[in-house]
Amino acid sequence: MAKKKDISKGIRALLSNIDSKSERKEVEKKSRDVATDKVLLSQIEVNLAQPRKEFNDDSIKELAESIKIHGIIQPLTVRKISIDRYQLISGERRFRASKEAGLKEVPVYIRDVNDQELLEMALIENIQREDLNALEVAFALQRLVEECELSHENLAKRVAKKRSTVSNYLRLLKLPPEIQDALKTGQISMGHARVLAGTDDVALQLTFYDKILNTKLSVRQTEALYRTWTQGKSKSKKGNNDVSQLPTELLLIQKEMKGQFGTSVRIERAKSGKGKIVIPFSNDSELNYILDVFKE
């Protein structure tokens, strides 16, 4: 009969063997998943699902000059799609700059990923770039929600951002095209756009947008203007002359004036027919804007 000590040794040996096999499998998996190599630029095709659509030509030329001197410091990331063809996952700026620099081949990381993983990796990699404009980030996040079927909470975890930040980006996609273009070209900031996205009233969004451009409002001034509007709207609902008591034609005029002035215009009218129009403002800049609207 085998001694207890011998049996325990045998069990430990078997467990050790299992652990070794498991480790080898993990190493083999990693070696298949990421491999470093050099491939011809002509063998690499760009990823059409790439969320970034705009590349600055001057920036590409500067990077090309750097590559001529120092080479490519960070390899491109690709996946193999046939014997001698690769698809770009990340690094399109380096890819373009390498062509500009006249390189024939480039260092790459070869990843073993499927179409879904490819899309997710490309989108997340681009979202984490600092030079991506806010709309490009918003579109990339939306694609992750729709095509990768991620909830806002899971999406926030994947891209290492707060859930509120993700929601703020996604709201940008509901803004009118002219405001989106202004955000893309830098005429307004992400802070301005976030304030504008706080209301679903397109006419009001456009009025606020015009005021930002015409009076060069800062983000804080825009936030103050929006607070003034919302507070005035709240007071008008609580007051004795509630807007719901106004005739339909006056309600329409009030709504039109709100859109025109970008503030909480309030029409007050007594049963006798007497009344007044209240147009609040919080500073001289807002007052001057209101006066300019009157002049027009």
Write the CATH number for 98: 3.90.1530.30
Number of domains in the chain: 2
Instruction: Please give the residue range of the domain that contains residue 275.
Output: 201-295
Task: Respond yes or no: is residue 45 known to be catalytic.
Answer: no
**Domain finish residue from 113, 130, 145:** 113
Q: 243 lies in a domain?
A: yes
Percent of the chain with pLDDT over 90: 7
Any residues with CB less than 8 A from the CB of 289 and at least 6 apart, and which? 211, 214, 215, 261, 262
Q: 127 lies in a domain?
A: no
- The one catalytic residue among 92, 120, 136, 286: 92
Highest mean pLDDT of the ranges 73-82, 123-132, 222-231: 73-82
Q: Give 45 or 236, the one with higher predicted confidence.
A: 45
Q: 231 lies in a domain?
A: yes
pLDDT at 128: 64
In this prediction the pTM is 0.49
Q: 259 lies in a domain?
A: yes
pLDDT at 102: 92
**Domain finish residue from 88, 113, 138:** 113
**Domain finish residue from 65, 86, 113:** 113
Pairing outcome for strands 266-269 and 275-278: antiparallel
Q: 236 lies in a domain?
A: yes
Q: 219 lies in a domain?
A: yes
Of the candidates 156, 227, 231, the one whose C-alpha atom is nearest the C-alpha of residue 195 is: 227
* pLDDT exceeds 70 at position 296: no
Q: 75 lies in a domain?
A: yes
Q: 277 lies in a domain?
A: yes
Mean pLDDT of the chain: 76
- The pLDDT confidence band at residue 38, using thresholds 50, 70 and 90, is confident
In this prediction, residues 260-275 reach a mean pLDDT of: 76
Q: How far is CA 234 from CA 130, 204, 220, 264, in A?
A: 39, 16, 21, 9
Q: Report the alpha-carbon distance of residue 173 to residue 139 in Å, rounded.
A: 8
